[in-house]
Amino acid sequence: MKSVLPILTVVAAIVVMWYAAAIGMNVKWAREQAARQGVELGFTELVADTWSQDRPRLPAPHQVLEELWNSTGAKILAGKTWSKRSLIYHGWITLSATLAGFAIGSLAGILLAVGIVHNKAMDMSVMPWAIASQTIPILAIAPMIIVVLNSIGIQGLIPKAIISAYLSFFPVVVGMVKGLRAPGREQLDLLKTYNASGAQTFWKLRLPASVPYLFTSLKIGMAASLVGAIVGELPTGAIRGLGARMLTGSYYGQTIQIWSALFAAAILAAGLVGIIGMIEKLMLRRMGVRT
Note the residues at the interface with another protein (CB under 8 A).
186-187, 189-196, 200, 204-205, 208-209, 211, 287-290
Please name the residues in contact with 162: beta carbons below 8 A apart, sequence gap of 6 or more. 101, 104, 145, 149
- For the bound state, the minimum distance from the C-beta of residue 199 to another protein, rounded and expressed in Å, comes to 11
- For the bound state, the minimum distance from the C-beta of residue 84 to another protein, rounded and expressed in Å, comes to 49
- For the bound state, the minimum distance from the C-beta of residue 280 to another protein, rounded and expressed in Å, comes to 14
CA distances from 195 to 18, 28, 36, 210 (A): 64, 77, 87, 22
Contact 164, 97 (CB under 8 A): yes
DSSP assigned state of 41: P
- For the bound state, the minimum distance from the C-beta of residue 141 to another protein, rounded and expressed in Å, comes to 39
Residue 36 or 286 having the CB closest to another protein: 286
Residue 69 or 202 having the CB closest to another protein: 202
The C-alpha atoms of residue 209 and residue 179 are separated, in whole angstroms, by 6
| Virtual torsion, Cα 108, 114, 118, 119, nearest 10 deg | 10
CA distances from 258 to 88, 105, 192, 261 (A): 15, 28, 58, 5
- For the bound state, the minimum distance from the C-beta of residue 184 to another protein, rounded and expressed in Å, comes to 8
Residue 154 or 191 having the CB closest to another protein: 191
- For the bound state, the minimum distance from the C-beta of residue 211 to another protein, rounded and expressed in Å, comes to 8
Please name the residues in contact with 170: beta carbons below 8 A apart, sequence gap of 6 or more. 109, 130, 133, 134, 221, 224
Residue 40 or 186 having the CB closest to another protein: 186
Burial environment of residue 169 by CB neighbours within 10 A (0 to 12, 13 to 18, 19 or more): buried
- For the bound state, the minimum distance from the C-beta of residue 214 to another protein, rounded and expressed in Å, comes to 13
Residue 103 or 182 having the CB closest to another protein: 182
H helices within 119-193, ranges in order?
120-135, 138-151, 157-180, 185-193
Residue 21 or 191 having the CB closest to another protein: 191
Residue 115 or 183 having the CB closest to another protein: 183
